[in-house]
């Protein structure tokens, strides 16, 4: 069970980073297309501000859940019953 938590946590964290990267790159490409004049509106002399954060809350949520699962994958200082039985004798 602990290994599944570690693997799922890492996958969610890496997935959130990839999703954030894809989001940022697509915004940069869209801004470059508009500024170059290839958009139907024509070239604009002003700076184009696009709404950034289309996946914002999803990215942070995925990263946070991935981190929690990764931490839950490490058992910590849980003592096993067999080691307690040996110490009680």
Q: What's the confidence (pLDDT) of residue 35? A: 74
Q: What's the confidence (pLDDT) of residue 3? A: 87
In a domain, 7, yes or no: yes
Answer whether 34's CB lies under 8 Å from 48's CB.
Answer: yes
| Averages of pLDDT over each 10 residues, the chain, 89 residues | 88 93 85 72 58 74 93 74 55
In a domain, 34, yes or no: yes
pTM of structure: 0.66
Q: What's the confidence (pLDDT) of residue 23? A: 85
What are the tokens at 9? Answer: 């946590």
Distance CA 19, CA 54 (A): 11
In a domain, 55, yes or no: yes
Range of the domain at 16: 2-74
Count of domains for the chain? 1
Answer whether 27's CB lies under 8 Å from 55's CB.
Answer: no
Distance CA 7, CA 5 (A): 6
Q: Residue 60: which region, alpha, beta or left (left: phi > 0; alpha: psi -120 to 50)?
A: alpha
In a domain, 79, yes or no: no
In a domain, 53, yes or no: yes
Q: What's the confidence (pLDDT) of residue 34? A: 74
In a domain, 85, yes or no: no
In a domain, 70, yes or no: yes
In a domain, 84, yes or no: no
């Amino acid at each position: 069970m602990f290994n599944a938590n570690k693997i799922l946590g890492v996958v969610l964290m890496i997935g959130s980073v990839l999703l954030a990267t894809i989001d940022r790159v697509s915004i940069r490409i869209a801004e470059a297309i508009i500024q170059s004049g290839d958009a139907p509106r024509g070239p604009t002399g002003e700076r184009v501000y696009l709404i950034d954060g289309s996946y914002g809350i999803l990215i942070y949520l995925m990263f946070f859940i991935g981190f929690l699962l990764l931490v839950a994958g490490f058992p910590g200082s849980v003592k096993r019953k067999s080691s307690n039985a040996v110490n009680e004798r």
